[in-house]
Amino acid sequence: MTQIATARWPGIAHTPRTPLKARAAKAILKPTVNRIPVQVSFADGTRWGAVVRTPRDADRATEGVFARLGAESKIGLGEAYMAGDWNAAPGTDLADLLSPFADRMAHLVPEKLQTFRAFVDQKLPHHQRNSVAGSRKNIEAHYDLSNDLFTQFLDPSMSYSAAWFESPTQSLEDAQMRKIDGILDQAHVGAGTRMLEIGSGWGALAIRAAQRGAKVTTITISKEQAVLAEERFAEAGVDVDLQLVDYREVTGEYDAIVSVEMIEAVGEEYWPTYFATIDKLLAPGGHVSIQAITMAHHRYLATRNSYGWIQKYIFPGGLIPSLEAIDATLAEHTSLAVTDRRSLGLDYAQTLQQWRDRFNANWDAIRSQGFDETFRRMWEFYLAYCQAGFSVGYIDVFQIQMSRPTEG
């Protein structure tokens, strides 16, 4: 196993010593594996699952998997992968291996044991709350890792959200521009439109809007993204007002407000503030379009108060809403209502596959930036984990148009 930097990855370098919990995790996991199309081969030669080799195999699994699952059930599988306690077998794609688990997520734990969820789930740590200060720290933890890192696996538009493919053979860059045009069309962005973008990314949407003739204001709290976005605005020859402010600090009036996959970082307790702010800033007759990752309402209710691997390692403070939760927040705190929406869930699975392929192909360049093997395994698991969720429909993503119904 690759040596793990203890100072950088203290929770990964040492296997938890909780033998009773490890045995309990093993007792729960074995029947689960035996009833889904997955085979697991252990370091000692033991095998679970299908007798005949399947396209979804894990091998070289160790007892560390059970120790980590027993210690933290919602975090342990990902940490075990980061630690090298299990791998996808040669010829098995990691996302394909995870898909049967994602497809059965609500039923992996026997129903009788689910009554103990409250005793197992950890709540979101207080330091990850999305206050103005907390949001900046949470965003910095992911988006300020390195612009060069993201350059290595994103397409030339530097779009870090679901693309919208017209066909399976369309290039990722063209599919990303189609996605952006879909958002801008929903928000009725054209010549002279006063448009606010909440969450600048690296500037692709703002550039496209400015090229349509819109008067663009875009905001971000990522200093790293802001630097590169400004460079890209200059290269594109567009006039964009980029402000390094939180959405709660914005003033003015806008004909169109857009936001792409930013609501997931808002936090449930701040959804009313987020949507009320949009409502306050939107001019009469204006339109809103947001792209939002969602999950089924019953899964949102079951997981809203828990703390998972994604929140610990990838998106601190993150929470995926349901469509119903968005509708309820709009109804209670704004004059807005959803007037159109389209799903891009399978498109996101394809997007993530391409990102993962590029990440792996360019790993040597990424490693030269100072990222280690544990980081590589963390990001490989993150991209595959999300791809599996979108491919089976456990999670989805929608472009959602909102307006004030009385204004037509």
CATH number at residue 205: 3.40.50.150
pLDDT of residue 239: 98
Q: How many alpha carbons lie under 13 Å from residue 215 in its C-beta half-sphere?
A: 7
pLDDT of residue 125: 63
What average pLDDT score do residues 63-90 get? 94
Number of domains in the chain: 2
Among the listed residues 116, 47, 77, the one whose alpha carbon sits nearest the alpha carbon of residue 310: 77
User: Is 2 contained in some domain?
Assistant: no
pLDDT of residue 119: 47
Among the listed residues 274, 287, 256, the one whose alpha carbon sits nearest the alpha carbon of residue 329: 274
Report residue 145's pLDDT band, with 50, 70 and 90 as the boundaries. confident
Better-predicted residue by pLDDT, 277 or 101? 277
Cα 136–Cα 138–Cα 142 angle in degrees, nearest 5: 110
Better-predicted residue by pLDDT, 59 or 237? 237
- Identify the three-state secondary structure at position 324: helix
d(CA 184, CA 189): 5
pLDDT tens for each residue of 146-200: 899 999 999 999 999 999 999 999 999 999 999 999 999 999 999 999 999 999 9
Q: Above 80 in pLDDT, residue 294?
A: yes
298 and 362 fall within a common domain:
yes
DSSP state for residue 2 in the 8-state scheme: P
d(CA 165, CA 163): 6
Judge contact between 398 and 342, C-beta under 8 A.
Answer: yes
The residue out of 69, 92, 120 marking a domain boundary is 120
Catalytically active residues, by annotation: 386
Residue 394 CB neighbour total at 10 angstroms? 20
The residue out of 91, 120, 149 marking a domain boundary is 120
d(CA 115, CA 177): 45
Q: How far apart, in Å, do the first and last CA atoms of the chain sit?
A: 61
| Two structure tokens written together for 256 | 């169109």
218 and 241 fall within a common domain:
yes
User: What is the Cα Rg of the chain in Å?
Assistant: 22
| Two structure tokens written together for 181 | 């045009």
Better-predicted residue by pLDDT, 309 or 107? 309
148 and 168 fall within a common domain:
yes
User: Is 197 contained in some domain?
Assistant: yes
| Two structure tokens written together for 123 | 């709540």
The strand pairing partners of 59, in sequence order, are 87
User: Is 107 contained in some domain?
Assistant: yes
The residue out of 120, 153, 172 marking a domain boundary is 120
136 and 111 fall within a common domain:
no
What average pLDDT score do residues 366-380 get? 96
| Two structure tokens written together for 361 | 């192909």
User: Is 353 contained in some domain?
Assistant: yes
d(CA 75, CA 84): 15
Which structural domain, as residue segments, surrounds residue 345? 127-407
- Identify the three-state secondary structure at position 370: coil
Q: Mean pLDDT over all residues of the chain?
A: 91
100 and 151 fall within a common domain:
no
pLDDT tens for each residue of 84-138: 999 999 999 999 999 998 988 766 555 555 554 454 555 656 566 677 777 777 7
